Amino acid sequence: MRGKFITFEGGEGAGKTTLIEEIARQLTQEGRPVLKTREPGGTKLGEQIRTMLLQHTGPVSPYAEFSLFLASRAQHILEVIGPALESGKIVLCDRFNDSSIAYQGAARGLGMEQVGAFCKFISQGLEPELTLYLDLDPRVGLLRAAKDRKQDRIEAETIAFHEKIREAFLAIHKADPRRVCLIDASMPFPKVFEEAMKRIAQHV
């Protein structure tokens, strides 16, 4: 692959979307080819799956939920991420396998290792070379997210659920600190951006 695959992870409202926008703007200004994308979503099929996952009312099996995230990812790799990397782009992706491991593996209780193994299979071994994990108290993140819009199905889970997600991301960072860089997302945005650009500069 000629491009660079960079993912952004964190709990709800940690600031990933805002950060990706700014990084894309900066890299584009520097004349670098950038593609911004997100999960679930990024393709026509993926966006339909996203609506099902976030807006469905009524009970959802954790296994069904996980399968839908994987389906969205497989299509995303085929249609968007793979071709962009082949053509030499820097792909900035809002969430990827680590989100499945934290949300479905840890918080939904499917098991981080088991979920990680399925993710590896579905993503055919494609791994980000850099992951920026925005670490934030979930209470703060949920308040930030609530400023912009109505809560979705997953945001509306209990605080204990969101705390498990943070613990899982911290464990992922601890297990692979070379790939997964932790950024304190409680800092003012310009500082978060500066930290993120420092990390990215080491890779692009």
Cis geometry, peptide bond prior to residue 40 (ω within 30 degrees of 0): yes
Q: Mask of contacts with ligand T5A, 111-150, x by CB under 6 A?
A: ---------------------------------xx-xx--
Strand order in 130-135's β-sheet? Answer: 34-38, 90-94, 4-10, 130-135, 180-184
**Alpha-carbon gap, residue 96 to 73, rounded angstroms:** 8
Q: Which of residues 149-168 bind ligand T5A (CB under 6 A)?
A: 154-155
Give least dist CB 202 to ligand T5A, A. Answer: 21
- The tokens describing 166, both together, are 């943070």
Give least dist CB 35 to ligand T5A, A. Answer: 17
Give least dist CB 2 to ligand T5A, A. Answer: 25
Q: Is 67 a residue that touches ligand T5A (CB under 6 A)?
A: no
Nearer to ligand T5A, 88 or 184 (CB): 184
Nearer to ligand T5A, 20 or 34 (CB): 20
**Alpha-carbon gap, residue 70 to 51, rounded angstroms:** 15
Tally of CA atoms within 13 A in the half-sphere of 46 that contains its CB: 20
Count other C-beta atoms under 10 Å from residue 55's C-beta: 9
By the criterion CB under 6 A, which residues form the site for ligand T5A? 10, 12-18, 39-40, 54, 69, 94-95, 99-100, 103-104, 144-145, 147-148, 154-155, 185, 188-189, 192
